[in-house]
Amino acid sequence: MSLSESTSQTTNDAARWERRRRNSFLLVLAVGFLVFGAASGALYYALRPDTLRIAVGPPGSDDDKVIQAMADAFAAESRTVRLSPVRTEGAAQSLALLGAGKADLAVGRGDLEMPAEAQQVAVVRKNFVVLWAPSGLATRNSKKKPTPKIKEIADLAGHHVGIIGKTAANAVLLRVILSASGVDADKVAVTQFGTEHLEELARDPHLDAFMAVGPLDSKITSDAIAATAHLRGEPKFLAVETSEAIALKHPRYESEEIPPSVFNADPAWPDDKVETVSVSHLIVARKTLSETTVAAFFRELFAVRQAIARQVPGAAHITKPDLEKDTELPVHRGAAAVIDGNERTFLDRYGDYFWFGLLLLSGIGSAAAWLRRYLNRDEREENTSHRRRILAMVSSARTAESNQELLTLQREADGIIRETLACYDDGSLEEEELAAFGLVLELLSNAIAERRATLQRGNVEAVRGPATTMARGSGGT
């Protein structure tokens, strides 16, 4: 091989090595980016907290304060759930936003019109119906205790009731109670007052009875009873004796009892337990909201409830829904799973993702193998060319006329072997391709060895021929 041919061969080898290194680098880089991107995406998806939009209103109400405190507590302590309050004009609008898909959760009364897919998650508080009538103020000269004109709900016919709170749901609830008690609701006049107009309600001489709907420790209810007692005399609490029948006909309501002395101790208001009905204020969620997300929210809510209650006393009323009661609004499966202790395990929830991840990794591996073969197609084609060249060299070896030709073929084969092994080390060649190369290389080695042996025998015979002739000539002389 001449110097120029050797230099050209060296240059070609260097170019091939450089190309192989570049292709290998690009392959490793592409696979690395792909794996990093997939891992980063999966990690972000798994660890990011879910932000739930919760509709609540009106601004400044007890519900609004509780939800804001809840959102602050979640932001400080929860790694899985965040709350984003959506302020509304009231519970009815909050539920409408939930039904329209503009909120994930909503706070509303259980007797309001609920969206079709709404399900309860937690009870914010129980609102008890409190009905009372004034007994009248005692005169200075009278020794008898004033007797109220209205002693029971049946006496309300033809009278006027003042309702605290301007929500239409309170008036509807009063009509339900009146109808269940055998009173024609149309014969009872109703006037609703805002919670800031308690003094006006107490001074209105046209009112014969009063109604409040709220928790038993409500300051609004206690202040209203105290105001009417001061201006109109001792309260006579009216029992809803048909509370159980109401609860059976209307599952959104529950039969309850008001304990004695809950509104005042001396004198006791009421002086004995009073039968009534209650309606719950609820946190509701869309049925389609993920079970895992609702379960995480439920756990976090009861984990921070005490901390919220220290800021907003009303949060102490938050309770779990009762799964045993046949309520009109079903409990969301996420909350029910936590309450029952049947929450799915980590593998139950994410087992499908693991299988998907394995399939994805398998697909990535197959894609990487295809990409590697595609990038190394030149090396494989070159290896095929080398095998063909060696097969041609086999024919040349069998017809070589000298050992020098065989040595040249051997040196060329050595160069091909070096390139082939380098490709194998880089991963450009598979085991099967290397095995095929080994077969043709063995064929060449055998051909060179056989031809070399043949040439050696010919040289020996050529040397022996003249020597024998000279020996015979000497003997004749």
Select the highest-mean-pLDDT range: 255-259, 375-379, 468-472.
255-259
Contact 92, 57 (CB under 8 A): no
Q: Is the pLDDT of residue 352 over 80?
A: no
Q: Name the band, by pLDDT with cuts 50, 70 and 90, for residue 10.
A: very low
Rounded Cα–Cα distance for residues 252 and 278 (Å): 9
19-28, 92-101, 196-205, 278-287: least confidently modelled range: 19-28
Burial of 314: CB neighbours in 10 Å, binned 0-12, 13-18, 19+: buried
Q: What is the pLDDT of residues 15-37, one digit of tens each?
A: 655 666 666 666 666 666 666 66
Tokens of 410: 């051997």
CA nearest to 88, candidates 98, 76, 80, 78: 98
CA 186 to chain centre: 51
Rounded Cα–Cα distance for residues 385 and 390 (Å): 9
Higher pLDDT, 413 or 248: 248
Rounded Cα–Cα distance for residues 319 and 286 (Å): 19
Q: Is the pLDDT of residue 374 over 80?
A: no
Q: DSSP 3-state assignment of 196? A: coil
Length of the chain, in residues: 477
CATH class (in words) of the domain with range 118-344: alpha beta
Q: Is the pLDDT of residue 229 over 60?
A: yes
Tokens of 204: 């209105």
Q: Is the pLDDT of residue 380 over 80?
A: no
- pLDDT at site 356: 77
Contact 128, 215 (CB under 8 A): yes
Please state, rounded to an integer, the average pLDDT across all residues of the chain.
84
- E-strand ranges in 135-234 read 160-164, 189-193, 209-214
Whole-angstrom CA distances from 462 to 208, 386, 450, 459 are 146, 37, 19, 5
Q: Is the pLDDT of residue 399 over 70?
A: yes
Q: DSSP 3-state assignment of 83? A: strand
Average pLDDT over residues 55-71: 93
- pLDDT at site 131: 98
Contact 294, 335 (CB under 8 A): yes
Which amino acid, 24?
Answer: S
Q: Is the pLDDT of residue 6 over 50?
A: no
Rounded Cα–Cα distance for residues 101 and 104 (Å): 7
Q: What share of the chain is helix, strand, coil (3-state, %, to 5)?
A: 55, 15, 25
- pLDDT at site 11: 55
Burial of 415: CB neighbours in 10 Å, binned 0-12, 13-18, 19+: middle
Provide the 10 A C-beta neighbour count for residue 25.
10
Rounded Cα–Cα distance for residues 329 and 193 (Å): 29
Q: What is the pLDDT of residues 414-451, one digit of tens each?
A: 888 887 777 777 666 677 777 877 888 888 888 888 88
Q: Is the pLDDT of residue 313 over 60?
A: yes
Domain definitions of the chain by residue range: 13-37+355-472, 118-344
